[in-house]
Amino acid sequence: MTVTSTTMRLLPVRWLLLVLFLVVVTSLCMAVVVTGRTDNNGVVDNNRFIANNRLHQVYWKYLNDRRSKRSSASNSNSRLLLSLQPSRGDDGRLPGDVFIAVKTSGKFHRSRLDVVLDTWLPLVQKQTWLFTDTEDRDLSERAGGHVVDTKCPSDHSRSALCCKMAAELETFLATNNRWFCHVDDDNYLNVAALARTLKLYNADKEHYLGKASIPAPLEIMDRDALPTEKKISFWFATGGAGFCLSRPLAEKMAPLVTEGGFVNIGDKIRLPDDVTVGYINEVLLDTPLTHVREFHSHLEPLKTISPHSLKDQVTMSYSTYEDTGESNVVSIEGLSRETDPTRFLSLHCKLYPRSAKYCL
């Protein structure tokens, strides 16, 4: 490179001295490196030069100081950006690779789904699908077209339930999503809490997340061992509380649940869909249930959930005790019982006040 006298006059003297210094040191370093590659003792000579030569030490100290300053500045900028940007899953937004399946039936499109469509579902509408047994254009329009008419029976029989669950799993397997999460049409899904929960687990590993509604593993007869009376026991996540499967586990289940396989297994063990999921995972695939206590179904006394901890719960539900007529709902202040019998509207007002238009 040619440096003109005019250019040299424009450069500060200290920069010229630094350039000359670096040229001399670099030349010396290169000479030793070349010698080290050609002489028999080149490696030893090169190491000795690096250890003892003062110019070389000063040269590398200068470079390392520059790199350290750049790295420190870069890390400082990165920390500033991270502090300004909300972390994924901690700001109430669910990652887009979570597939949410809601099981419902034609007779519940108004009575149950209205409150779901007025609360949590719009927060994750693009990744939520309703699986039903009845064509409903109005529902499809409200749900953004995310309604699957499974053509399954409309009753609450084992075969009808297993038929819908099979449709849910097969639809998920046809996507590239990393998580499959099932809820029922009488569940409130706390999107932010689900995001925080899934963040605790590696989506590339096999995970079966949910909550059992029984105090001990279920025991059934092993029909493969008949006529001998052999029992098998396993946990299962209650479908009414919701549960999640990671993609690796769902893909491991695929040969057993597609093309009628799920319904056949349900018929074989003579148990409904959520129990069949547990049987497949714990018994056939040796993948245990990970108990997540923040999932809740109508089978538990929901008023025992502390109002202060509602923001941490993943799912909630509601029901009415048949013997007393008493409502089994979460305990929360807000709208009147006449306006909000499920307490989902009031709950949504507390958790997501900006997205709710009916709050006091």
Catalogue all structural domains in the chain, each as residue range(s) with its CATH number. 7-81 (no CATH), 98-351 (3.90.550.50)
Residue 353: its pLDDT value, please? 87
* Tokens found for residue 286: 């040796």
Over residues 125-131, the mean pLDDT reads: 97
Give catalytic status of residue 312 as yes or no: no
- Better-predicted residue by pLDDT, 179 or 87: 179
Q: Which residues contact 197 (CB under 8 A, 6 or more apart)?
A: 209, 292, 294, 314
Distance CA 334, CA 328 (A): 16
Residue 205: its pLDDT value, please? 98
Q: Which residues contact 204 (CB under 8 A, 6 or more apart)?
A: 178, 246, 247, 248
Over residues 117-141, the mean pLDDT reads: 96
First-to-last alpha carbon distance for the chain, in angstroms, is 75
Give the helix ranges, DSSP H, for 199-320: 247-257, 261-269, 273-278
Distance CA 159, CA 18 (A): 82
Span of 8-17, 18-27, 39-48 with lowest mean pLDDT? 39-48
184 strand-pairing partners? 103
Distance CA 112, CA 102 (A): 11
Residue 225: its pLDDT value, please? 63
What is the DSSP annotation of 55-86?
A: HHHHHHHHHHHHHHHHHHHHHHHHHHHHHHSP
On the question of pLDDT at 130 being above 70, the answer is yes
Question: Residue 78 — very low, low, confident or very high, per pLDDT cuts 50/70/90?
Answer: very low
Burial class (CB in 10 A: 0-12, 13-18, 19+), 285: middle
Question: Residue 50 — very low, low, confident or very high, per pLDDT cuts 50/70/90?
Answer: very low
- Better-predicted residue by pLDDT, 319 or 29: 319
User: Could you say which DSSP state residue 320 is in?
Assistant: E
On the question of pLDDT at 177 being above 60, the answer is yes
189 strand-pairing partners? 315
Percent residues over pLDDT 70 in the chain: 74
On the question of pLDDT at 276 being above 70, the answer is yes
Helix axis angle, 13-38 to 42-52, nearest 10°: 150
From residue 258, alpha-carbon distances to 173, 252, 255 in Å are 9, 11, 6
Closest CA to 91 of 192, 16, 219: 192
Question: How many CA atoms are closer than 13 Å to the CA of 71, on its beta-carbon side?
Answer: 6
* Tokens found for residue 169: 């799993």
Q: Show the CA angle centred on residue 193, arms to residues 187 and 199, nearest 5°.
A: 125
Over residues 25-44, the mean pLDDT reads: 40
Peptide bond preceding 227: is omega within 30 degrees of 0, i.e. cis?
yes
Over residues 153-182, the mean pLDDT reads: 96
User: Could you say which DSSP state residue 262 is in?
Assistant: H
Given the structure tokens 């639809």, which residue do they identify?
A: 171
Residue 49's identity, in one-letter code, is F
Over residues 89-112, the mean pLDDT reads: 88
Residue 317: its pLDDT value, please? 98
Residue 358: its pLDDT value, please? 76
Torsion 119-90-302-106 (CA) sign: positive
Residue 357: its pLDDT value, please? 75
Distance CA 356, CA 95 (A): 21
Residue 354: its pLDDT value, please? 83
On the question of pLDDT at 22 being above 80, the answer is no
Closest CA to 29 of 3, 59, 6, 7: 59
Question: Residue 230 — very low, low, confident or very high, per pLDDT cuts 50/70/90?
Answer: confident
On the question of pLDDT at 5 being above 70, the answer is no
Question: Residue 226 — very low, low, confident or very high, per pLDDT cuts 50/70/90?
Answer: low
From the candidates 90, 274, 312, 340, give the one annotated as an active-site residue: 274
Q: Which residues contact 146 (CB under 8 A, 6 or more apart)?
A: 125, 126, 128, 129, 130, 140
Give the global pTM.
Answer: 0.74
Residue 18: its pLDDT value, please? 55
Over residues 44-72, the mean pLDDT reads: 41
Helix axis angle, 54-84 to 13-38, nearest 10°: 110
